Amino acid sequence: MRIMRSTNPVFRSVRQDTYISDQPVTYANVTYKTLFLTLLVMGSAYFMLYLGQVSYFTLIGAVIVGFVSVIVGTRSVRLSPYFSVIYALSEGVLLGVISGIYMDAFDDGIVPTAMLTTLLVVFIMLILYTTRIIKVTQRFASVLVISLLAVILMAVLAIFLPFASSFYYIIVIASAVLSAFFLLLDFRSIEYAVESGMDQRYGWILSLGLLVTIVWIYIEMLRLLAIFGRRN
């Protein structure tokens, strides 16, 4: 089987350090860890949304802690369980603040709708991957990376364009589509890890990488729903 280089730095670090183990990682192992981390995100977000005190210090701190946690969690197999949990809690704080902003600007239903839509996206992309309706190749990964760089460039240019509001809609839609397709790269990397017999400790790194993409999708779903709500 041809090995595809992942564009996700989380999974790239896994492939660089891989070794065969008598306790290999399994799909169930990754699934349980991802569910656990997702519940931590939701719990942390709920606390921040309804019980926490929002401040710029809290928001900036959550961003910094989340960023550092991803870096450390993907570089150290030994520390990945701890920093995966730290990332989940910090992202929950961030998502709680962001969700609160959207709830105030629109309505309370936008958050549960975004959550259900995110779950639906994950389910659909998993079906597309397992049935091989969409085949994940190196060319496919390269196109996604180039597209992501293009979207980032568009977002930067939109700041200086006079028609930035219309340009914003295109950026949000493109980013939402990309976030969904990046799930396919995550699934491919998980499949590679399982088939290669990698140690089960790498399950935390794989779950962390998958969670990063899921958080991205949720934010994009919020932005899409906000656009539709604004038009209605």
pTM, to two decimals: 0.87
C-alpha of 38 from chain center: 11
Confidence check: pLDDT of 9 > 70: no
Range in 66-80, 108-122, 155-169 the model is least confident about: 155-169
R_g over Cα of the chain: 18
- Separation between Cα atoms, residue 123 and residue 125, nearest integer Å: 6
Q: Which helix (H) or strand (E) holds 122?
A: helix 110-130
What's residue 76's pLDDT? 86
Confidence check: pLDDT of 2 > 70: no
Contact partners, residue 6, CB within 8 Å, separation at least 6: 12, 15, 141, 185, 188, 189
Q: Which residues pair with 24 in a beta bridge?
A: 199
What's residue 57's pLDDT? 82
Residue with the larger pLDDT of the pair 9 and 175:
175
Burial of 55 (0-12, 13-18, 19+ CB in 10 A): exposed
- pLDDT category at 219 given cuts 50, 70, 90 is very high
What's residue 12's pLDDT? 53
- Residue 198 phi/psi, 5° resolution? -65, 155
What confidence tens digit (pLDDT) does each residue in 43-53 have? Answer: 999 988 887 67
- Separation between Cα atoms, residue 73 and residue 69, nearest integer Å: 6
- pLDDT category at 229 given cuts 50, 70, 90 is confident
What's residue 5's pLDDT? 46
What confidence tens digit (pLDDT) does each residue in 72-115 have? Answer: 998 888 999 999 999 999 999 999 999 988 988 888 789 999 99
Confidence check: pLDDT of 7 > 60: no
Average pLDDT, integer, range 165-169: 73
Q: Widest CA span of the chain, in angstroms?
A: 60
Confidence check: pLDDT of 153 > 90: no
What confidence tens digit (pLDDT) does each residue in 13-68 have? Answer: 555 555 556 688 999 999 999 999 999 999 999 988 887 677 778 888 999 999 99
Q: At what angle do helices 27-50 and 164-195 cross, to 10 degrees?
A: 140
Mean pLDDT of the chain: 85
Tokens of 216: 């991205």
Burial of 145 (0-12, 13-18, 19+ CB in 10 A): middle
Three-class secondary structure assignment of 136-183: CCHHHHHHHHHHHHHHHHHHHHHCCCCCHHHHHHHHHHHHHHHHHHHH
